[in-house]
Structure 1
Amino acid sequence: MVARQLDEQMAGRFPVGQRLRVLDVGMGRGTQALRLARLGHQVTGVEQDTAMLTAAREALAREPEGIRDRVRLVQSDGRDTGVHFLPGSFDVVLCHGVLMYVEEPDPLVAGLARMLAPGGLLSLLVRNGDALAMRPGLSGDWAGALAALDTSACLPHARTGPSGGTPVRVGPDVRADRLPALAATLDGIAAPLHAWYGVQVFTDTAADDAAVPDDLETLLAAEERAGRTDPYRGVAALLHLCGVRG
């Protein structure tokens, strides 16, 4: 979903065929970075975790030489972009699934915005602070739903167990962000919100090891439609925000 939404925003902002300079902060295993490099863009991937960075390097090594030449990998937590890169060095900056692990996200977002050239696109993927009770509630965890309704910032990162029942808590606590607050942040750093989507409107309670359904394309169509339609996108597990540098 995020890739489809990102492609839509890039196509609406840049000329067809333009090779863009992309910065992917918190790239993980490099899935998005490699996808964009295959499309012809020059991509710099930033990742702090050594294991993830190793996996990204191994995946990159399996690509043809022309794609390998378009990718640069840097080990960093993304907060020192000003050390590695000059302001205005990129046309697109991605920060997907990172802010939820950052206690104070505003300085990081501001630093990323400074990396954008005028008219550049900033893509953020965050946990939705206005939907924290949805996963436990839909899974029958009423105590968890009540606790989530009372929280304002943080939620233990829960994934549904193989049975699809009560969520199992795994991993560190993660933050959640609310749309109005992030929109205000983007306004304040001269990269105002241009578009936003919901991600995982209907599928957030699916188990990590769930089989791919036979009607996958129908599922994706439903998620894509809901992710851009009110009121459904407002209760999605994740929010995908796209700001544009003034």
Structure 2
Amino acid sequence: MARQLEEQISARFPVGQRLRVLDVGMGQGTQALRLARAGHKITGVESDPAMLAAARAALAEEPAGIQERVQLVEGDGRDTGVHFLPGAFDVVLCHGVLMYVAEPDPMLAGLARVLAPGGLLSLVVRNADALAMRPGLSGDWDGALAAFDSAEYVNRLGLKARADRLTALTATLDGIGAPLETWYGVRIFTDTAADDAPLPADGELERLLAAEDRAGRTDPYRSVAALLHLCGVRGGTGSEGR
């Protein structure tokens, strides 16, 4: 998924442009390090000390030139105004975070404020309109039926989480001055795969990624994706990719 998201983000900027990227809730730093290797300047924010330690350990294994492009900050995505000036970043990533935030609108407004004009707010959220897909495809009929009437779910880590709807987030992005420009579906054909499943051989992996990418850009497939990748642009006009 990290490669797919990186390509969708990079496609919005001129080839070779070095971006100032804020990765909020970066976890172990997988996405941050991929972007740093591509030449971008990364600031990663993480509140979980264990995750932050893992990110620091992974960064320590990188060459000095990459380490110089990465700054790691212990903090919460809801406090970006404390740590960063308005307009400080070209890209703000908030991937796999909103599902743990009960009231996401104030946090999103704060993330939009630290974007430069024309900057990209990249969100990856659990798709509330497709919550029944995973249990249904797995034969869990009780779980599928319950998912139709709720935006709450228990994730694979056993944690209670919350899904988002495209229509609601579109309205939020409009309201904070970073209207939705386009959106993608993520994990359409692969959502039921086990977390520890080995990667396919190179040839098959490329075909899998090509199929996921095509479906993630195509209706009606993207609408039933497990995750949604939304791209809002600071000061944009909001084509919404439909």
Q: TM-score when scaled to structure 2?
A: 0.93
**Residue equivalent to 1:187:** 174
Within 1, Cα distance between the matches of 2:109 and 2:86? 11
Number of the residue aligned with 1:220: 209
Identity %: 76
What amino acid does structure 2 have at the position aligned with 1:87? P
Of 152, 155, 159, the residue aligned with 1:154 is: 152
1:6–1:123 CA contact under 8 A, matched in 2? no
| 1:244 maps onto 2:233 in alignment | yes
Tell me the secondary structure at the aligned position of residue 159 of structure 2: strand
Q: Deviations over 1:207-243 (max 9, x none)?
A: 1122222322211111111111100100000000000
Shift of 1:17: 2.0
The reply on whether 1:8 has 2:11 as its aligned counterpart is no
Query: Are the counterparts in 2 of residues 24 and 33 from structure 1 also a CA contact under 8 Å?
Result: yes
Q: Give me the whole-angstrom Cα distance separating, in 2, the residues matched to 1:242 and 1:127.
A: 15
1:203 lines up with 2:190 in the alignment? yes
Answer yes or no: is 1:96 the counterpart of 2:95: yes
Give unmatched runs, 5+ long, in structure 1.
160-169
Q: Provide the rounded CA distance (Å) in 1 between the counterparts of 2:231 and 2:138.
A: 30
Residue 120 of structure 2: SS of its match in structure 1?
strand
Supply the distance in 2 between the matched residues of 1:177 and 1:132 (Cα, whole angstroms): 10
Q: 1:2·1:199 contact (CA, 8 Å) conserved in 2?
A: no
Secondary structure in structure 1 of the residue aligned to 2:153? strand
CA–CA distance in 2 between the matches of 1:82 and 1:35? 26
Determine the C-alpha separation between the residues in 1 that align with 2:47 and 2:27. Answer: 9
In the alignment, the residues of structure 2 paired with residue 11 and residue 236 of structure 1 have an alpha-carbon distance, to the nearest angstrom, of 21
**What does 1:124-163 correspond to in 2, within 5 Å?**
124-151=123-150, 153-157=151-155, 159=156
Unaligned runs of 5+ in 2: 236-242
Q: Using the alignment, how far apart are the partners of 2:55 and 2:9 within structure 1?
A: 25
Maintained 8 Å contact 2:87/2:114 = yes
- For 1:27 and 1:112, locate their aligned partners in 2 and report how far apart those are by CA, in whole Å: 14
- Where 1:130 maps in the other structure, the secondary structure is helix
Q: Is this contact kept in 1: 2:80–2:110, CA < 8 A?
A: yes
2:213 maps to amino acid = E
Name the SS of the counterpart of 2:183 in structure 1: strand
| Number of residue pairs matched by the alignment | 233
| AA at the equivalent of 1:208 | D
Verify the 8 A CA contact 1:30 1:45 in the aligned structure 2: yes
- Cα distance change on mapping 1:31 and 1:8 into 2, 3 Å: same
User: Which residue in the other structure is 2:221 paired with?
Assistant: 232
What is the deviation of 1:2? 4.7
Q: Matched residues in 2 for 1:207 and 1:36: separation?
A: 26
Q: Specify the alignment match of 1:109 in structure 2.
A: 108
In structure 2, relative to structure 1, the CA distance for the partners of 1:8 and 1:210 (3 Å cut) is: closer
Counterpart-to-counterpart distance in 1, 2:221 and 2:2: 16
State the AA in 1 paired with 2:207: T
Give the Cα–Cα distance (whole angstroms) in 1 for the partners of residues 36 and 92 of structure 2.
14
TM-score normalized by structure 1?
0.91
Between the aligned partners of 1:19 and 1:6, the Cα distance in structure 2 is 14
Distance in 1 between residues matched to 2:216 and 2:11, nearest whole Å = 18
Q: Distance in 2 between matches of 1:219 and 1:40?
A: 27
RMSD, aligned α-carbons: 1.2
| Moved segments of 4+, more than 6 Å | none
